[in-house]
Structure 1
Amino acid sequence: MIKAVLFDLDGTLLNRDESVKMFVDKQYERLYQWLSHVPKDKYIARFIGLDNQGYVWKDAVYQQLVDDFNITGITWEDLLQDYISQFKNSCVPFPNLINMLEKLRNSNLVLGMVTNGKGQFQMDNIRSLGIEDYFETILISEWEGMKKPDPQIFNKALDKLNVSSTEAMFIGDHPEKDVKAAQNAGMKGVWKRDGKGSDIEADLKVDDLKEIPLIIRELNNNSLSDLASRVLK
């Protein structure tokens, strides 16, 4: 019986790819005085490439951008601070986010979030999406002193939600840090497909957040193998 549903943030609830594109476009316009010698499309493309889907922190990204494009009059530290303070204004949710969370909460499920990243930065993004109050617990790696795929951070979230691992499901987009790590902690690991053509092993797979309430309802009324035979086709 599933009693708790836990989520990753970036790539799962927050459409990070679209958020980054929007942010970099806005940053270029906001700081045009110092960036005008760089074509906007090149600035955006280089940022996205260096960012590596968020796995490179932005101090390294901006240092490289300043060097690549010979940016003067503004430092990489200034660019980084702009990112830290302004990214929250470009957060794009995946479709059906609020509706999905409402349905889960109305089904008396407890919700949690476990995300890697900088504490205040991630919390600002969560609040920008308007979803903080749906979650009984939110664990961010910087503040916890541990990060996914360490099972301890999952276990801490389960303790806070007062559920066992067999009563919980974790939904994320990363094959190792989300799905496999959650399974290693004893939870069901659900993969939110990233649309990039890859495929991984998971207990269940979803393309859209709206599928999650139905999957949990069916899972609580059927065996996982029966559900998987229908959902994983």
Structure 2
Amino acid sequence: MSPIRLVTFDALYTLITLRYPVHVQYSQVFAPYVGVLQPEAIQMSFKEAWKVIEREDSSNPRGSEEKWRDIIRRTALGAGANQQALDVSLSEILPRLMERFSSKEGYKAFDDAIPTIHRLNDELGVRTAVISNGDFRIRSALTSLGFPDTLNSIILSDVEGVEKPSPEIFMKALDAVNATISPKKYIQPAECLHVGDELVCDYKGATGAGFEALLLRRHGVEGERAHRGQDEDEDLIGVPVIHNLDAVVDVVRERPS
């Protein structure tokens, strides 16, 4: 078995999680501008708005801010906001929500996330990176939450123009890390381990790129929030499943150096 020289992580529900559910945070931000909208109504409206925008963007992609302006507007209207009040205040609501979900105000780090990165870097000499199907706000949130500079690269689908599970985004992460080291010491895909919470995007995407992979399924409320509504008949036969990030260090340590 090859040594592990690079560990890549998914971001949301792997390293970080929402400080409060999205619909609760939207309700808090909407309230001063359009009055109190019920979080449950926002939750349903957000799902519908997301579906519509994803369908429209598949044929006519837009910039991140324009896309989110439309999602936020549709969400508020669908939850019962007064259209006139919303249109007057949307220019203030949009940056407020964008800022919240770019920082520790909207997210929190899992207790084992930053310590695991430090242990991999400092104790085992393993490089680390992030691969996320997210936009620029993920990078900002990780910085706000105090993730170390030793994260060698943060690869975002919104920037790269390709999403997990495409092998291409995994190779972009590897290329970015290899660009920082001597060609004689380039890391090979077989020396990479990806950790994430989604079977298709993370596990199958990574293994399709030649990486090894671990599927993270956290116990408790956070794990339930991440995977509520997923297919209960997922075929996990042969898939290595871990329940916390401490296990990543154990797996890497067991490999030859």
- TM tier, shorter chain? 0.7 to 0.9
Please tell me whether the aligned partners of residues 203 and 213 of structure 2 are also in contact (alpha carbons under 8 angstroms): yes
1:155 counterpart SS class: helix
Structure 2 residue 94 is the aligned partner of structure 1 residue 70? no
Distance 2:170 2:81 in 1: 43
Which of 104, 125, 132 pairs up with 1:115?
132
Structure 1 unmatched ranges of 5 or more: 222-233
Deviates more, 1:93-102 or 1:24-33: 24-33
Distance 1:70 1:28 in 2: 11
Structure 2 unmatched ranges of 5 or more: 55-66, 179-186, 218-222
Please tell me whether the aligned partners of residues 170 and 189 of structure 1 are also in contact (alpha carbons under 8 angstroms): yes
Please tell me whether the aligned partners of residues 192 and 208 of structure 1 are also in contact (alpha carbons under 8 angstroms): yes
1:74 counterpart SS class: helix
Distance apart, 1:216 and its partner CA: 1.7
Structure 2 residue 166 is the aligned partner of structure 1 residue 147? no
Please tell me whether the aligned partners of residues 175 and 200 of structure 1 are also in contact (alpha carbons under 8 angstroms): no
Distance 1:47 1:100 in 2: 37
Which of 78, 82, 86 pairs up with 2:100?
86
Distance apart, 1:175 and its partner CA: 1.2
Please tell me whether the aligned partners of residues 167 and 208 of structure 2 are also in contact (alpha carbons under 8 angstroms): yes
Distance 2:131 2:48 in 1: 25
2:177 match: 161
Q: What letter is aligned with 2:115?
A: N
Distance 1:175 1:83 in 2: 29
Q: What letter is aligned with 1:92?
A: K
C-alpha spacing 1:131/1:51, structure 2 compared with 1 (3 Å): farther
CA displacement, residues 130-155 of structure 1 (integer Å, 9 cap, x when unaligned): 11512111111222222222212211
Aligned residues: 214
2:13 match: 11
- Which residues of 2 match residues 170-209 of structure 1 at below 5 A? 170-193=194-217, 194-195=223-224, 196=227, 198=232, 199-201=234-236, 203-209=239-245
CA RMSD, 1 decimal = 2.8
Please tell me whether the aligned partners of residues 188 and 203 of structure 1 are also in contact (alpha carbons under 8 angstroms): no
**TM-score where L is the length of structure 2:** 0.72
Deviates more, 1:93-102 or 1:80-89: 80-89
1:34 match: 33
Distance 1:203 1:161 in 2: 26
Please tell me whether the aligned partners of residues 47 and 61 of structure 1 are also in contact (alpha carbons under 8 angstroms): no
Deviates more, 1:170-179 or 1:150-159: 150-159
Distance apart, 1:168 and its partner CA: 0.6
Q: What letter is aligned with 1:150?
A: S
C-alpha spacing 1:66/1:160, structure 2 compared with 1 (3 Å): closer
Distance apart, 1:59 and its partner CA: 3.8
Distance 1:178 1:77 in 2: 36
1:112 counterpart SS class: strand
Please tell me whether the aligned partners of residues 42 and 75 of structure 2 are also in contact (alpha carbons under 8 angstroms): no
Please tell me whether the aligned partners of residues 95 and 208 of structure 1 are also in contact (alpha carbons under 8 angstroms): no
2:131 counterpart SS class: strand
Please tell me whether the aligned partners of residues 28 and 35 of structure 1 are also in contact (alpha carbons under 8 angstroms): no
1:130 counterpart SS class: coil
